[in-house]
Structure 1
């Protein structure tokens, strides 16, 4: 018979305090899952456009079932996101809250990131299996993944392209206006590349991504925009070895998921013509856990790494560096690839990400 180890003596006050903390964590997790529901159904956008309204009015405006909307609203009220007036049975979303919860929000739509919480629940059984077997996953294991990443990229990259990102590369806008060849490696649904193609009609743009569904969406969007200077192709970047055919290469939050990030970076350098530039974005956390204790949303990033980024790499036979592989690792790989100049940038409005400008 197994012996039961006596429970050790604990500081009762500290234990109660941690119990309260655990209750908060679980409660906030449930709220995050419901924020994802509200985002996908457009409920925050509906609330922001209405004066104080009843659940019946909100449901009618959103074309949703009132009973479910009322229950969702109760979660939003008890979590402090939505205000409730019991005298009139009305709900309202304060403008200060809408500023980071609706599409096009001035502070960025944080509800987009809440979708990762819901996705983790959806793939939990698959995640449990990876822990038990050590195997990896494939992109097809994650429902709606490319849509979530497209929304994330639209805020982090596309919306910042012309005001914040291109200025990191002195002289690149003049070259784009004159006409150069541009590659986005790991382009997803292509929103950033399409924005560039629209702004710079004299340049030629190519987007590669492993996932056919993302490329299909990107191609459809480019055609709808009437763009003749852009093409998308489904392509596994493992062993990428195009030679001296691009003037400007970008990758946005794509390198750490690869089977062999070092080889990809070397391949991208080889694809640049003399005078070419590589703009690389990745997560700005450190390779050292102890340096990330105060990093913004570090727990979420490690969780995403555990559920997605690490197993996706392992599933390709890669090293599984993970989301928090570290800016130090990325910078070292750029130098080792032979780039003559590497500059690292962290933007004041975006502490989560790091941007490298590497020149041949």
Structure 2
């Protein structure tokens, strides 16, 4: 029993150290410090790092203390006795923005941002059971656009879309089809697809007016005539409407688990698909039973993101509150309930976080 108590005490020390390390890494990522040290590719003094980053020396010095103690950055004492700091290339491979779809550094911002946005409201939710509206997460939604950019820019057009339906989808996109990106947020994926396939027509749908303003500005900036954005609630599309049977292909990137009425949203997608149209639902790779996620390498992280954001926004107005970890089994059942007659579940190239649920109407 004494050994168990000591082991758990050691674990608590790790929790406190790694939680603190994550906060400091999030700040360093936002400030561009990992990118700067990665580009320098040598051991540098604190003054050299601050000069390149144009940041306060005292703050950077303290940050370097965290990084050295956390074994993220190496401290090398020069012949002059002055400390120098080095970010190994293998660390830059996952922390710097150049890592693209393999960038884990970007995720260090997620928990600190959610804490700043919503910690008190989530605590109140424990007492009341109330959800939290999207409007309470403005900084977090900007981060999600940044994350989407990091994930999609290298993977979506070059890797994911060519893998769909054994390449037949890309052939159709080049010929020209109607595509809907549901839950498009600020339109990162929608705009990338519209840019890559100018003969196809793209419609981004989201419930957030503010996010759609950003998406429309992006379309204007890129001069994309083949894309438009509409503010709609996906659940409201399940009955016959002006979009019924309009789209050849629909995508939903990590969007369904945030819906207040996810089954109705899936029924809405089924309604606006053409006969034999295809739907790609990209969502978290998890099991529906907590027990099945015990060995998930990022289980605590993903459940925490869900607790702080995905579940509360899904509880608004008495919603389902699925949460991010709703899991494969429940997802498959709901897709079948929504009317999809063939559902294939597969891993996604270069994306260990998500599964691809490929469905036919």
Q: TM-score, normalised by structure 2?
A: 0.93
- Name the CA distance, whole Å, in 1 between partners of 2:207 and 2:101: 31
Contact 1:119 1:143 in 2 (8 A): no
Residue in 1 aligned with 2:105?
111
Partner deviation per Cα, 1:45-69 (whole Å, 9 max, x = no partner)? 1111113211111112111111101
Q: 1:90 aligns with which of 81, 84, 89?
A: 84
Partner Cα separation in structure 1 for residue 134 and residue 52 of structure 2: 35
* 2:257 equivalent to 1:266: no
Structure 2 residue runs of 5 or longer lacking an equivalent are none
- Count residues in correspondence: 350
- Is the 2:181–2:252 Cα contact (8 Å) retained in structure 1? yes
Which whole-Å CA distance do the structure 2 matches of 1:348 and 1:12 have between them? 46
Tell me what 1:35 maps to: 25
Distance 1:348 1:184 in 2: 20
Q: Shift in Å at residue 176 of structure 1?
A: 0.7
For 1:236 and 1:338, the matched residues in 2 are separated by 19
CA distance in structure 1 between the partners assigned to 2:268 and 2:235 by the alignment: 9
Verify the 8 A CA contact 2:101 2:150 in the aligned structure 1: no
1:2-21 alignment runs, 5 A limit: 11-21=1-11
Q: Which of 228, 232, 239 is 2:225 aligned to? A: 228
- Summarize deviations over 1:166-223 as a string: whole Å, max 9, x none: 2122311111111111100000111111111111111110101122222122111121
Name which of structure 1's ranges 92-101 and 223-232 shifts more when overlaid on structure 2.
223-232
1:99–1:106 CA contact under 8 A, matched in 2: no
Indicate if the aligned counterparts of 1:285 and 1:325 stay in contact, CA closer than 8 A: yes
Structure 1 residue matching 2:48: 3-state secondary structure:
helix
Tell me how far 1:134 sits from its aligned partner.
1.1
Q: Which runs of 5+ in 1 are unaligned?
A: 1-10
Alignment of 1:314-353 (within 5 A): 314-347=315-348, 349-353=350-354
Contact 2:234–2:264 (CA<8 Å) still a contact in 1? no
What is the aligned partner in structure 2 of residue 81 from structure 1? 72
Aligned in 2, Cα 1:107/1:355: closer, same or farther, shift over 3 Å?
A: closer
Stretches of 4+ moved more than 4 A in 1? none
Cα displacement string for residues 78-130 of structure 1 (whole angstroms, at most 9, x for unaligned residues)? 10001112333211111000000011216621121111220232122111111
How much does 1:317 deviate? 2.3
2:128 maps to which of 124, 133, 145 = 133
Give the direction of change, closer, same or farther, for the CA distance of 1:234–1:304 in structure 2 (3 Å limit): same
Q: RMSD across aligned C-alpha pairs, in angstroms?
A: 1.5
Q: Could you tell me whether the CA contact under 8 Å between 1:212 and 1:234 is conserved in 2? A: yes
The match for 2:145 is: 150
| 1:66 partnered with 2:61 | no
State the alpha-carbon separation in 1 of the partners of residues 308 and 68 from structure 2: 30
The match for 1:168 is 164
- Aligned equivalents of 1:63 and 1:114: distance in 2? 22
Instruction: Answer yes or no: is the 8 Å Cα contact 1:331–1:342 preserved in 2.
Output: yes
2:251 match: 250
User: Equivalent residue for 1:355?
Assistant: 356
TM-score by length of 1: 0.93
Aligned partners of 1:283 and 1:353 also within 8 Å? yes
